[in-house]
Amino acid sequence: MVLAVFAGVAAARAGAVSVDAASATEIQNLSLNTISAATVEIAGRGEDRAIPAWTSILPPLLAIVLALLFRHVLVALVAGVWLGAFLLAGLSPVASFARVLDTHLVGAIADRGHSSILLFSLLLGGMLGLMTQSGGAKGLASWVSTDTASRRRGQLTTWFLGLLVFFDDYANSLLVGASMRPVTDRLRISREKLAFLVDATAAPVASLALISSWIGVEVGYIADQFTHLGIERDAYLTFIETIPFRFYPILMLLFVAWVGFRGRDFGAMRRAEERALREGLVSGAGAQPASDFHDESVPEDVVGRPMNALIPVVVVVLVAALGIYVDGRGKVLAAGLEPTLRAIVGEASSSAAILWATGAGCLAALVLSVGSKALSFGQSIQAWMSGMKSMLYAVVILVLAWALGGVCRDLDTAGFLIGAIGDWLAPAWIPASVFVLAALVSFATGTSWGTMAILFPLVVPLAHQVAPGQETILLGTVSSILAGSVWGDHCSPISDTTVLSSMATSCDHMDHVRTQLPYALLVGAVSLLCAELPVAAGWYGPWVGLLVGAAVMVAVFELLSRPVRA
């Protein structure tokens, strides 16, 4: 039996899926220790063939292993999509090849939410091309020096900007990464480190913010389950109450600040930082940057103009915020509701607002480029087109990642992982187990929103049934879904936010994944052992859990890391 039927409903989020009422009821009636085989149709024969449920994990597993081993992410993703299509096509090599092209890739591009992200990425690429060619990036870089203290400031500034752009993780990754790249290059901070600083801030801060593109979806999932279970709690207030229990996102934000402040690293990240500082190579030998913006392509006679970079970015941020407010307010008033800020943000289409914002940013960059006489009108158009072309590699990765996520949904990869957990959990183990499960599902599918949609109808009723009236378990379970989804989305090489972070920072995608994974594992393990488990067991409260987790995290990092020296 297929565990659930999923349909895309979040236009702002790539790969996000929703569970309809009938499917949610079916999910809640299933025993979590049931592992069923998916059913596929044998191409051209009209007959069904049951395949073992465990095969559903093979496509993402193959893609991840190949990408980590050989660092050819495009080949790895194509292999994963083909294997999924091969299983879905009844093990037919010919039919699977056809379905990769006419079904899975076309479906990934045709999705409205995916199309919005592709257009957003291309427009932003054009804006960045104008900013670079007109001397904006050169102007920003000229503002900084290259001593050790400035390296610390550069990393902390990246972290701080990530906190400021809290309204959307996509906009966060692209704006902060692109804005800080010329600065960190001058400071000899590796592209791997910049990608980590950007990626480790974007989703955590957006998932925690009280006003963001995440809030409506998160509160909506909570409200649906409370209504279904007859729990008389306000979903928005519950969301606020879960914030202290969101151990991984909070600890990761603290970890990023500590790493930037201390100037220490360990493992692959330390090697990348020492290479950049000693040799001036911000990218490793043989690296394939996910985008290609070169400061050296700027003519020597172009004067550095920092306003040509700052003003378009400010325009994007302001127009996005204004667009969310205007769009959300119009929908709220049309529905006859009170126009509270919470309602406005919840109803607004963040994907549309971000498209408006990047379009306005392109116009601002074009006007500044021509108005400052840095480029002629024709040269500006060429720079804009060149910027969009530089996004091609990342766009291909995104499409393949979405296609892989699609075959994972068709094969019910998440259902297998959920069923493998079983129904043997004691109440104190539920939040921690849910965190691990959410992390695994999000890592395997590359989508945090999709993971939330899958898990909320499953584990919230479980927590309510196993631990009725225990507020700590209920809040911990809801928080663990949200936090675990962020962990997997942060780490997965097929996650759209991971790809966008590589794109914005012009970092080799697999170098980014390989260097940030040990840091995410450290923070995730500390969150699990020092906060999730003890708080659910009643040893101490969530705020103490955060303090203990932060102390242990810092201590372990200091033990493992060494100063980065030239």
Q: Residue 189 is encoded by which pair of tokens?
A: 């901070």
In this prediction, residues 26-37 reach a mean pLDDT of: 36
According to the model, what pLDDT value does residue 45 have?
41
What's the whole-number mean pLDDT along residues 59-81?
A: 79
Element (H, E) at 127: helix 112-133
- Asked whether the predicted pLDDT for residue 155 surpasses 60, the reply is yes
Residue appearing with tokens 């450290």: 522
- Identify the sign of the CA torsion 486, 490, 495, 497: positive
Helix (H, G, I), strand (E, B) or coil at 19: strand
- Model pLDDT, residue 19: 38
145 pLDDT exceeds 70?
Answer: no
> Is 19 a domain residue?
no
Q: State the virtual CA torsion across 171, 137, 195, 284 in degrees, nearest 10.
A: 150
Q: Is residue 166 within 8 Å of residue 124, measured between CB atoms?
A: no
Please give the Cα distance from 275 to 270 (Å, whole number). Answer: 9
Which band of pLDDT confidence, cut at 50, 70 and 90, is reported for residue 461?
confident
How does residue 349 score in pLDDT terms, banded at 50, 70 and 90? Answer: confident
Which residues neighbour 149 within 8 Å (Cβ) at sequence distance 6 or greater?
A: none
- Phi then psi dihedrals of residue 6, to 5 deg: -110, 145
What is the per-residue pLDDT for 2? 26
18-32, 33-47, 59-73, 544-558: least confident range:
18-32
Range of 107-111, 408-412, 467-471 with top mean pLDDT:
107-111
- Give the pLDDT score at 273: 94
Q: How confident is the model at residue 211 (pLDDT cuts 50, 70, 90)?
A: low
pTM for the whole structure: 0.69
For the residues 443-452, what does the mean pLDDT come to?
78
Burial 516-544 (b: 16+ CB within 10 A, else e): bbebbebbbebbbebbbbbbbeeeeebee
Q: Is residue 55 domain-resident?
A: no
3-state secondary structure 445-486: HCCHHHHHHHHHHHHHHHHHHHCCCCHHHHHHHHHHHHHHHH
* 356 belongs to a structural domain: yes
Q: How many CB atoms lie within 10 A of CB 279?
A: 12
Assess whether pLDDT exceeds 70 at residue 47.
Answer: no
pLDDT value, residue 140: 64
In degrees, rounded to 5, the angle at the alpha carbon of residue 208 between the alpha carbons of residues 202 and 212 is 75
Report the pLDDT value the prediction gives residue 425, as an integer from 0 to 100. Answer: 61
Per the domain annotation, does 276 fall within a domain? yes
Q: Considering the domain boundaries, does residue 25 fall inside one?
A: no
**Position 71 in a domain:** no
The pLDDT of residue 494: 81
Which helix H or strand E contains 333, and what residues bound it? helix 307-334
Listed ranges 114-123, 302-311, 379-388, 490-499; the one with the highest mean pLDDT: 379-388
* Angle at 290 (CA atoms; ends 284, 293), nearest 5 degrees: 85
pLDDT higher than 80, residue 221:
no
pLDDT tens-digit series, residues 518-547: 999 999 999 999 999 999 888 999 999 999
Find the range with the poorest average confidence among 92-106, 142-156, 167-181, 332-346. Answer: 142-156
Does a structural domain hold residue 315?
A: yes
Residues in Cβ contact with 497 at an 8 Å cutoff, skipping those fewer than 6 apart: 169, 170, 173, 199, 202, 203, 448, 489, 490
| Closest CA relative to residue 443, chosen from 191, 89, 67 | 67
Choice between 215 and 506, residue whose per-residue pLDDT is larger: 506
Q: Mention every residue, 6+ apart, whose C-beta is less than 8 A from residue 517.
A: 491
Looking at residue 374, what is its pLDDT? 86
CA 159, CA 155: separation in Å to the nearest integer? 6
Q: Is residue 41 part of a domain?
A: no
CB 302 within 8 A of CB 134: yes
Confidence of residue 70 (pLDDT cuts 50, 70, 90): confident
Q: What pLDDT score was predicted for residue 38?
A: 45
Give the residue-averaged pLDDT of 336-346: 81
Tokens in use for 549? Answer: 């987790």
Smallest CA-to-CA distance from 447 within 396, 479, 491, 411 is with: 491
What pLDDT score was predicted for residue 12?
34
Lowest mean pLDDT among 275-279, 382-386, 415-419, 550-554: 415-419
Calculate the average pLDDT of the chain: 80
CA-to-CA separations, 323 to 172, 319, 357, in angstroms, rounded? 16, 6, 8
Among 286-290, 322-326, 402-406, 520-524, the range scoring the smallest mean pLDDT is 286-290
DSSP 427: G
Better-scored residue on pLDDT, 81 or 444: 81
Of 90-104, 223-237, 330-344, the range with the highest mean pLDDT is 90-104
- Which of 460, 435, 9 has the alpha carbon at shortest distance from 217? 9
Question: Which comes out higher in pLDDT, residue 56 or 531?
Answer: 531
Domain span including residue 449: 100-105+113-399+421-566
Q: Answer whether residue 305 shows pLDDT above 60.
A: yes
The region of weakest confidence among 93-107, 211-225, 437-451 is 211-225
pLDDT > 90: what percent of the chain?
30
How would residue 9 be classed by pLDDT, with cut points 50, 70 and 90?
Answer: very low
How many structural domains does the chain have?
1
The 10s digit of each residue's pLDDT in 287-299 is 777 666 554 455 5
Share of the chain above pLDDT 70, in %: 82
- The answer to whether residue 557 scores a pLDDT higher than 90 is yes
The three-state secondary structure class of 355 is helix
The reported pLDDT for the residue numbered 42 is 41
